């Protein structure tokens, strides 16, 4: 549905159904590739559903604090292999991984 300048895609009434939401994005907007820039909870949900096939990580020389969350909350160990690594600047490394 359309709310002002926002488009809302519902993925379930009480619990998020990621497969349903992705199917609607494909059906209504022909979206086949999605860039996921979520927090640890939504990242973890997508990973547990098996919907992540590539990771693009930017690593910086910062120290996380006690309130920091993991990248993928409640996920299982999934193997990815390194496709590319680039030095972006003196303190930043960009890593691209593909799911095995």
Determine the pLDDT at residue 74. Answer: 80
- The pLDDT tens digits along the chain (100 residues) read 455 666 666 666 677 789 988 998 899 889 999 998 888 888 888 988 899 999 998 888 777 777 777 777 788 778 899 999 999 998 899 999 999 8
Determine the pLDDT at residue 95. Answer: 93
The 3-state secondary structure of the chain reads: CEECCEECCCCCCCCCCHHHHHHHHHHHHCCCCCCCCCCHHHHHHHHHCCCCCEEEEEEECCCCCCCCCCCCCCCCCCCEEEEEEEEEECCEEEEEEEEC
Determine the pLDDT at residue 62. Answer: 73
Full-model pTM: 0.70
């Amino acid at each position: 549905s359309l709310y002002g300048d926002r488009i809302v895609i519902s993925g379930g009434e009480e619990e998020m159904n990621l497969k349903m939401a992705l199917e609607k994005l494909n059906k209504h907007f022909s979206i086949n590739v999605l860039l996921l820039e979520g927090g640890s909870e939504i990242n973890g949900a997508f990973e547990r559903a098996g919907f992540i096939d590539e990771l693009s990580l930017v690593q910086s020389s910062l120290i996380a604090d006690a309130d920091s969350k993991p990248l993928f909350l409640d996920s299982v160990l999934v193997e990815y292999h390194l496709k590319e690594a680039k030095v972006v600047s003196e303190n930043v490394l960009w890593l691209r991984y593909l799911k095995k």
